[in-house]
Amino acid sequence: MSKSSWSQGAGRQSRRTRGSRRGRGSVSDERPVILRLAGISRRYSGAENAPALSDVTLTVREGEFVAIVGASGAGKSTLLNLLGLLDTPSTGTYVVAGRRIDELDERARDRLRASTFGFVFQDSHMLLKETVAGNAALGLSINDVDPALRPGIVAAALDTVGLLEKAGDLAGNVSGGERQRVAIARAIATAPKILLADEPTGALDTANSTRVARMLRDLNRDGVTVIMITHDPSIARTADRVIEISDGKVLSDEATADQATVRGRRPPETRELPAATQSSWSRVRERIGAAISHHTVHAARAALLLLAFTVGSGGLVTAIGLSQSAAAQVVGRLDSAALDEFLVVPKNTPTAIRTELALPDDAPASQVAEVAQQRLRGLDGVLSVGLTSIAEFDEGVTLLNPAMVAEQPVLSPQIRVADREYLRLRGVSLGTEHESMRLFERNAEAPAVILGPALAERLGYADQVPGSQLWIGSTSAAIIGVIGELGEEPQLASALIVNPALAAVVSAADPTLIVQTEPGLPAGLAEVVGATVAPGDPSLFTAETVADLRSLTQGVASDLVSLITIVSWVLLVLSSLSAATAAYLSVHARAAEIALRRAVGESKRSIWGQFVLEGVLVGLLGGVLGSALGVVMLVVFAAQQGWTPTFNFAFLGVGVAAGACTGIIASLYPAALAAQQDPALAVRGT
Ligand code: ADP
């Protein structure tokens, strides 16, 4: 932009208008009208007193330099915000470059604002962690100007304000006066026809104020219409026309330059912002870049957000993985149980059972088992029957005769009665074929026991000691050995297994029978078990087939899955809430930035989209990290539990999708809030 050699007018002409006298403020009547306000009022909601502006009628012509003065609270900023389409009037008509603004929708107003106005505020509203050039280019990226054209435009704008050599510096590292010049560069980069400046020198020292005022003057000489609020009389004097506002009304409207001078200025250049030629893909890339750069600039905030999403999706992946592994574990155990077995469980009514089986009331459990077994063996397809029962034995178990040795470990392990068939069918064995196992035949009379490995250790019993004895209370029994294979009964590790000869000693409950059949028969046989064992009252014995057990445990497993899934979703919701809170707070922290973006033409939708995009990106990354974390946790936990981790690559998808979705959800409200930020309020509020 060239500097004009036109001098300020010699003979000054001055006109005064009072109150609301209309349309007389313009000094250059030949120039086309660019702004026309007729009967404009603005009343703020909630403010009961007088309106901030009432019945203002004004005309501004192209190329004018207008200063607006007045006491604090007079309504100057309200007027400037209305002029710049940052706010809308309560009543009255406002026409910008021939277009009535009440006939435009919000997006059209945004566009008109971006194409017509440039803003300079008292606060420079710099993005301090962005470079000087980046700040000056803000309006260009918001208006989708071809990225290839931007450096040239920005360089010209920075050159105009004398800051080209600082283009690469961070805005946070330049002085206050320089920031205000960058703000002017940012405003003029978009080639505005009208520059609106709200106390542009308010925060500057005299030297910088003079410099900024001179720049505005130069811009005006190059044809830009300038409207500036100032409380500094010396700055106001640099304008061609001074409008004084008082109590929301135009108090005076005075020309300070003679008409000839103003008329003699060259006509405004028809400068236009280059058309938005950016391709959609390049725009999307740029928005993603902006979102990433926002996160890297505010690393601490981004890291916290990331942590929330990582914990949330990591918890989800771990939980799903673990619950599925646990379920697979349960189901796997059952699968390994033969498909040729079922259990016969007696009802807990010993007397009724004995009556039904024609036994005396005080018949021991072993007799009940005997009768039941005989009847079961009578069924076609039954191959063998084993028995087990829980004992209720309160006295201690010792290795040495307690009557002789007082000082020795006395334990109270869980005691189970079982016969050889039962142990065989359940895969419980000493590890090697053991001759003495015949002592566990149902009708063996010599008391014998087998120790669970954990119990043996606690008792201090070393295996393979021939002829060892164990004392159950005051009854001694031969120790056959220590369990080597726990088969399907891992809980027997710390139990004492006694043979049926000891059933009475340990007060065994009525036994559960395990029936082995020819393959495929359990379901059918289970149907008739009750009637076979107890024809008078079939309900005294119930049959549980493996299939029953399997559906039962599948039920348990799926309950487990849903429980853990619910817990992990709760975790995810909590982490989303904390992320949403962080995003919500960041909207407030970024109010000035948002206002500025709105002022330079960014639409509400685009602000909304930017916030959601920032949320999605960090959520997505959190989802990826969380999934990886979840897999590691799953492997570690499963190893601890001795499980085979059931791993499905779909979990990773779930984790990543959960991260992205919660990223969106967590940012929806903050994004809406950001989009609703009133640009005028935010600009004023700082
Ligand atoms: P000036 O810029 O001349 O200092 P303003 O235009 O900021 O004056 O304010 C004019 C009047 O409107 C003042 O009384 C002010 O308190 C009031 N006002 C300004 N903005 C708002 C708002 N957002 N809500 C309510 N009242 C407001």
Q: Tell me the C-alpha distance between 585 and 670, whole Å.
A: 8
- 313 or 7, which is more confident: 313
Cβ of 685 closer than 6 Å to ligand 1, yes or no, is no
Q: Report angle CA 232, 236, 240 to the nearest 5 degrees.
A: 180
The side-by-side arrangement of strands in the sheet containing 33-42 is 53-61, 33-42, 91-96, 99-100
- 576 Cα distance to chain centroid: 3
| Centre of ligand 1 from the C-alpha of residue 235, in Å | 23
- 679 or 422, which is more confident: 422
Question: Considering only 97-106, 247-256, 457-466, 500-509, which range has the smallest mean pLDDT?
Answer: 457-466
Q: Tell me the C-alpha distance between 551 and 523, whole Å.
A: 13
Probe ligand 1: pick from 41, 45, 48, 77, max atoms within 8 Å of CB? 77
Taking the CA of residue 53 as reference, the ligand 1 atom at the shortest distance is 10
- C-beta of residue 440 within 8 angstroms of C-beta of residue 418: yes
> Closest Cα to atom 21, ligand 1: which residue?
44
Cβ of 78 closer than 6 Å to ligand 1, yes or no, is yes
| Centre of ligand 1 from the C-alpha of residue 65, in Å | 24
Q: How many residues does the chain have?
A: 686
What DSSP designation does 94 have?
Answer: E
**Among 81-85, 374-378, 643-647, the range of highest mean pLDDT:** 81-85
Predicted local confidence at residue 14, as pLDDT: 38
Residue 363 pLDDT more than 90? no
Residue 27 pLDDT more than 60? no
Taking the CA of residue 680 as reference, the ligand 1 atom at the shortest distance is 23
Q: Which CATH superfamily is domain 3-277 in?
A: P-loop containing nucleotide triphosphate hydrolases (3.40.50.300)
Residue 590 pLDDT more than 70? yes
Residue 599 pLDDT more than 50? yes
Predicted local confidence at residue 637, as pLDDT: 83
| Centre of ligand 1 from the C-alpha of residue 78, in Å | 6
Taking the CA of residue 678 as reference, the ligand 1 atom at the shortest distance is 23
| Centre of ligand 1 from the C-alpha of residue 73, in Å | 6
| Centre of ligand 1 from the C-alpha of residue 184, in Å | 25
Residue 181 pLDDT more than 60? yes
Residue 13 pLDDT more than 50? no
Residue 48 pLDDT more than 70? no
Taking the CA of residue 248 as reference, the ligand 1 atom at the shortest distance is 10
| Centre of ligand 1 from the C-alpha of residue 599, in Å | 19
Cβ of 160 closer than 6 Å to ligand 1, yes or no, is no
Cβ of 569 closer than 6 Å to ligand 1, yes or no, is no
Q: Tell me the C-alpha distance between 27 and 8, whole Å.
A: 14
Residue 26 pLDDT more than 70? no
The mean pLDDT value for 657-679 works out to 86
Q: Tell me the domain boundaries of the chain.
A: 3-277, 283-333+552-682, 340-546
Q: Tell me the C-alpha distance between 261 and 10, whole Å.
A: 9
| Centre of ligand 1 from the C-alpha of residue 362, in Å | 98
Predicted local confidence at residue 439, as pLDDT: 87
pTM: 0.60
Cβ of 47 closer than 6 Å to ligand 1, yes or no, is yes
Predicted local confidence at residue 430, as pLDDT: 85
Using pLDDT thresholds of 50, 70 and 90, give the confidence band for residue 135: very high
Q: Tell me the C-alpha distance between 337 and 331, whole Å.
A: 10
Residue 39 pLDDT more than 80? yes
Cβ of 52 closer than 6 Å to ligand 1, yes or no, is yes
- Maximum pairwise Cα distance, the chain: 136
Cβ of 77 closer than 6 Å to ligand 1, yes or no, is yes
| Centre of ligand 1 from the C-alpha of residue 598, in Å | 20
| Centre of ligand 1 from the C-alpha of residue 190, in Å | 29
Which of 145, 226, 113, 227 is closest to 597 using CA atoms? 113
Using pLDDT thresholds of 50, 70 and 90, give the confidence band for residue 393: confident
Cβ of 75 closer than 6 Å to ligand 1, yes or no, is yes
Cβ of 682 closer than 6 Å to ligand 1, yes or no, is no
Cβ of 51 closer than 6 Å to ligand 1, yes or no, is no
**Tokens describing residue 556:** 């348990």
> Closest Cα to atom 25, ligand 1: which residue?
44
